[in-house]
Amino acid sequence: MTDDTSLRAPLVIEYPFTRTTGPVVGAFLTALREGFVVGTRASDGRVLVPPAEFDPVTNTPLTEVVEVGSEGVITSWTWVTEPVPAPQRPAGEEPPWDPSVDAQPFDRPFAWVLVRLDGADTSLLTVADVEDPAQLHTGLRVRIRWRAEREGSIRDIEAVEPVVSGEDLP
Amino acid sequence: MRDVAVVAFAQSASAQEGDRNEVEVLMPVVTEVRDQVGVTTADLDFVCSGSTDYQAGVPFSFVMTLDAIGPWPPIRESHVDMDGAWALYEAWVKIQMGAADTALVYAYGKSSPGDIRRVLSRQLDPYVTAPLWPDPDALAALQARCLLDADMATEADFASVAARSLAAAEANPHAVVAGARSVEDLLDEAYLASPLRRHDCPPVTDGAAAVILAAGDRARDLCERPAWITGIDHRIDPHQLGMRDLTAAPSVRVAAERAGVADGPVDVAELHTPYSHQELIVRRELGLADGTEVNPSGGALVANAVMAAGLVRIGEVAERISSGRAGRGVAHATSGPCLQQNLVCVLEGDRGR
Amino acid sequence: MTELSLPARFEGVEMIQRVRIPARLAYEFTAGVATSRFLRQVVRKRLVGERCPVCTKVYVPPRGACPTCGVATAEQVELGHTGTITSYCIVNVAFYGQAMDLPYVSALVLLDGSDLPIMHLIGEVPYDEVHMGMRVEAVWEDGDEMEPTLEAIRYFRPTGEPDADPATYGEHV
């Protein structure tokens, strides 16, 4: 009698990509490293954050890089009770898995948020550091908490936190 | 324009194909679809497939799965790194060009070997989004929240979609979750990614689908009642979520206009909406009337073989037309986060021919 | 390229032009039913191919389908441990993770009774004596080290038989 079950084996695929940023994304990531946020101004005057390299309507190159605030309002949010876990670290593997690169920002329940920063007309995807979903609502004012050591990555934004003294926008 | 029809459709789906590799999953489905109309691969002018290597974790895996269809003597073949619905679009264009009269379209995907939530995060912008590893459930939840905030839907509306899908799934042998439940019962469950609960999100599914297209008299020879494609179009919205009004899907609306959804009554619609709230958005953008039966298969909430689930929607509508249960129907396929890319296909029986 | 207009805060700041964004994905690879049947026999030092019911060719390792006919292979066919070299190359270039001493010979070996050569190493012969048509046999790893992979065969070595008639392997060259 033949065995019709399959043998299985762990398989890890790594994509060690170094990417060319281009000037616009390069400016955005450079600003994050320096602790501020920029976008690009579209042909209709809107400020796009994250920046687009080309106008979403006219397709012309967008060249005006503008700074926006480090505070803003939540335009949507979700509380996830089970973060997607990082893959198991294969035994003895070097270099080890780095949660700051290979996993979601938190390994406990947390919130994903879309945040429209002051001066921007579009929203940025990031995470909110609160302990309870009751602390969150659309329109809540939040402020970026920067990572202490920044390298020019979207993860230089550690999270957003509620602005304690601020007032909600409608 | 040439008259082109779906003349055969086959599918398989399960929660986990723990034993069969992709070739072994695909081969019975391709064999079944060919046998339905009594053709061999050599009888078909063109072959086009949809899959993504990221699911298998094997580069160029689609080349290996050609083993399942018998590509010798050398066949004319193409592949898209998209759901099989887009492979069907390419095959339809090929037939419109006069370069083929028949085509085999297939798609497959095993979501279970990797973590599909991590795999799908790789389709996002690689500079400012993918490094956060956002998963599709969370991104869909952000979209669902926008609907609630805009007073365009309630959580009970989401649960109603899920309840109807789970009930419909009882008659679908390819469903991987099924079972009628009340809206109240569903609303009692905990959030997975608020405001979405587990039943608002698709189940992990491994599966495959295959369709045979044929033009004009060849279609009539192969099938008693071909499901004619009277309109097909696909469109795309910007990839940055924050640039979009997530309560709308303009790409669905434009594709529906171009495909001629409103040119006649729609008896049945199969919508590729892996999240319950997305059915509400797509239904509105398609302009479907209340009388249209939506997702009689249960839809992607009950079986969502990533890369095949869109092609399955076209096959489900075609099967209902060919069996005489529907006269005119609409199939929709989606790709990308939060309904970013959308394909709309209108199918009809012999009416108007 | 169009010049950007940048806020004053960028003055004197070195602009980022490239970033490293690695990603890793972990899977559980499924060998499949047919390949698993083959690998389970390898551990027992047996080589079992599968025959296509249409064209009757025997494939090893079997993948579950005849790659020309597109039908399932079902009949199992036990193969000998000897075969014929249909092609080979002498490897002189080191690469990351390489376990072999240079130079070594990698070859396609058509096992007797099969219709698809497998790729393996050639040992116990000077590399410049390896040639097409050379008859070879499998040298297995020791029994207690067997894993269900083709590495259970350490390498193939010449049998000393006369070369195979090119007509017996010409289709595979």
Looking at the complex, report in whole angstroms how far the Cα of residue B156 sits from the nearest Cα belonging to chain A.
17
Q: What pLDDT does residue C142 have?
A: 87
Helix (H, G, I), strand (E, B) or coil at B66: helix
Total CB pairs under 8 A between chain B and C: 85
**SS3 for A122?**
coil
**Measuring CA to CA, which residue among C123, C126, C119, C124 is closest to residue C88?**
C119
- Which of A1, A3, A6 should we substitute to test contact with C (largest number of C Cβ atoms within 10 Å)? A6
Model pLDDT, residue A96: 60
Digit-coded pLDDT (tens) for B102-131: 999 999 999 999 999 999 999 999 999 999
- Tokens 């070195």 belong to C14
- Residues of chain B with Cβ-Cβ distance to A81 below 8 Å are 190-193
Residue B94, in any domain of the structure? yes
Could B141 and A112 be called an inter-chain contact, meaning their C-beta atoms sit closer than 8 Å?
yes
Asked, as a colleague might, if the bond just before B195 is cis with ω within 30 of 0, I would say yes
Looking at residue B324, what is its pLDDT? 96
- Confirm whether A4 is domain-assigned: no
Contacts of B127 in chain C (CB under 8 A): 19, 21
Give the nearest chain C residue to B16 (CA atoms). C30
Tell me, yes or no, if B127 comes closer than 8 A to chain C by beta carbon. Answer: yes
Type of residue at B176? V
**B212, part of any domain:** yes
Question: Which residue(s) pair with C30 in the sheet?
Answer: A8
CB nearest C2 (choices: A4, A20, A61): A61
The predicted structure's pLDDT at residue A169: 55
Q: In whole angstroms, give the CA distance from residue C112 to residue C104.
A: 24
**pLDDT over 90 at C107, yes or no:** yes
Q: pLDDT by residue (tens digit) across C14-56?
A: 999 999 988 889 999 999 999 999 999 999 999 999 999 999 9
- Chains in contact with A, where contact requires at least 3 CB pairs less than 8 Å apart: B, C
Parent domain of A50:
22-162
Residue A167's pLDDT is 56
Start-end of H helices in chain B: 22-37, 53-56, 61-64, 84-96, 116-121, 136-149, 155-168, 183-187, 216-222, 250-259, 276-286, 309-322
Q: Which residue has the tokens 């060319």?
A: A20
Of B307 and C142, the structure prediction assigns the larger pLDDT to B307
Please name the residues in contact with B220: beta carbons below 8 A apart, sequence gap of 6 or more.
B226
Q: How many angstroms separate the CA atoms of A65 and A53, rounded?
A: 10
Q: How much of chain B exceeds pLDDT 90, in percent? A: 95
Distances (CA, A) of C36 to B19, B27, B207, B240: 9, 17, 20, 43
Q: Is the CB of B23 less than 8 angstroms away from the CB of C65?
A: yes
pLDDT at C11 over 70: yes
Indicate yes or no: CB of B192 within 8 angstroms of CB of A19: no
Going by pLDDT thresholds of 50, 70 and 90, the confidence category of residue C102 is confident
Q: For residue A95, what pLDDT is reported?
A: 59
- pLDDT digits 0-9 by tens, A137-151: 999 999 999 999 999
Look at chain B and report how many structural domains it folds into.
1
Residue B61 sits in a domain whose CATH number is: 3.40.47.10
Count: domains in chain A: 1
- Distance of alpha carbon B52 from alpha carbon B75, whole angstroms: 21
Mean pLDDT of the C82-87 span: 97
B240-to-B48, B129, B235, B340 alpha-carbon distances in Å: 30, 8, 16, 9
Question: Which residues on neighbouring strands pair with residue C47, listed in sequence order?
Answer: C79
Q: Mind telling me how many Å the CA of A8 is from chain C's nearest CA?
A: 5
Angle between helices B136-149 and B276-286 (to 10 degrees): 60
With bands split at pLDDT 50, 70 and 90, how would you rate the model's confidence at A18? very high
Q: Are C147 and C164 in contact (CB under 8 A)?
A: no
Q: Using a CB-CB distance cutoff of 8 angstroms, which residues of chain B are in contact with residue A125?
A: 128-129, 132, 134, 142, 241-242
Residue that is written with structure tokens 């970033």 in the block: C19
Q: Would the pTM count as exceeding 0.90?
A: yes
Q: Which of C19, C29, C70 sits opposite B113 (nearest CB)?
A: C29
Domain that holds residue B14: 4-113+204-222
Q: CB of B128 within 8 Å of any CB in chain C?
A: no
pLDDT higher than 60, residue B236: yes
Beta carbons of C6 and A27 less than 8 Å apart: yes
What average pLDDT does the segment C149-167 reach? Answer: 94
Q: Is the pLDDT of residue B143 over 70?
A: yes
CA distance B282 to B296: 16
Output the pLDDT for position C100: 75
Does residue B182 sit in helix, strand or coil? coil
d(CA B218, CA B220): 5
Longest dimension (CA), chain A: 74
State yes or no: cis peptide before B250, omega within 30 of 0: no
Q: How far apart are CA C152 and CA C172, in angstroms?
A: 24
C80 and A CB contact within 8 Å: no
Report the gap between the CA of A118 and the closest CA in chain C (Å).
16
Mean pLDDT over residues B270-292, rounded?
A: 97
Question: Which chain B residues are within 8 Å of A8, Cβ to Cβ?
Answer: 18
B74-83, B134-143, B344-353: least confidently modelled range:
B344-353
CB within 8 Å of C156: residues ≥ 6 apart? C83, C107, C109, C120, C121, C122, C123, C136, C137, C138, C139
Do the chains contact at C33 and B20, CB–CB below 8 Å?
yes
Q: Which of A46, A67, A37, A126 is nearest to B243 (CA)?
A: A46
Tell whether A11 is covered by a domain. no
Distance CA B331, CA B288 (A): 12
Beta carbons of B134 and A104 less than 8 Å apart? yes
Q: What is the mean pLDDT of chain B?
A: 96
Q: What is the pLDDT of residue C101?
A: 82
Amino acid residing at C171? E
Count Cβ atoms below 10 Å from residue C24 Cβ, excluding itself. Answer: 19
Per-residue pLDDT band at C172 (split at 50, 70, 90): confident
How many CB pairs (< 8 A) connect A and B? Answer: 120
Whether A15 sits inside 8 A of C2 (CB atoms) is no
**Cβ neighbours of residue A10 under 8 Å, at least 6 residues apart?**
A90, C26, C27, C28, C29
Nearest chain C residue to A29, by CA: C16
User: pLDDT (tens digit, 9 = 90+) per residue, B54-92?
Assistant: 998 988 999 999 999 999 889 999 999 999 999 999 999
SS3 B117: helix
pLDDT tens digits, B291-319:
999 999 999 999 999 999 999 999 999 99
Between A91 and B280, residue with greater pLDDT: B280
Q: Assess contact for C50 and C73: CB atoms under 8 A.
A: yes
Contact A154 B131 (CB under 8 A): yes
Residues in C touching B70 (Cβ below 8 Å): 66-71
Task: Please give the sequence-ordered ranges of beta strands (E in DSSP) within C41-173, or none if there are none.
Answer: 47-51, 58-59, 75-79, 82-91, 104-111, 118-122, 135-140, 153-158
pLDDT at B211 over 90: yes
Query: Residue B352 above 50 pLDDT?
Result: no
Tell me the CB-side half-sphere exposure of residue B211, using CA atoms within 13 A: 35
Mean pLDDT of B175-198: 97
- Are B3 and B228 in contact, with CB atoms under 8 Å apart? yes
| Residue-wise DSSP of B253-302 | HHHHHHHTGGGS--SEEEE--SSHHHHHHHHHHHT--TTSEE-TT-GGGT
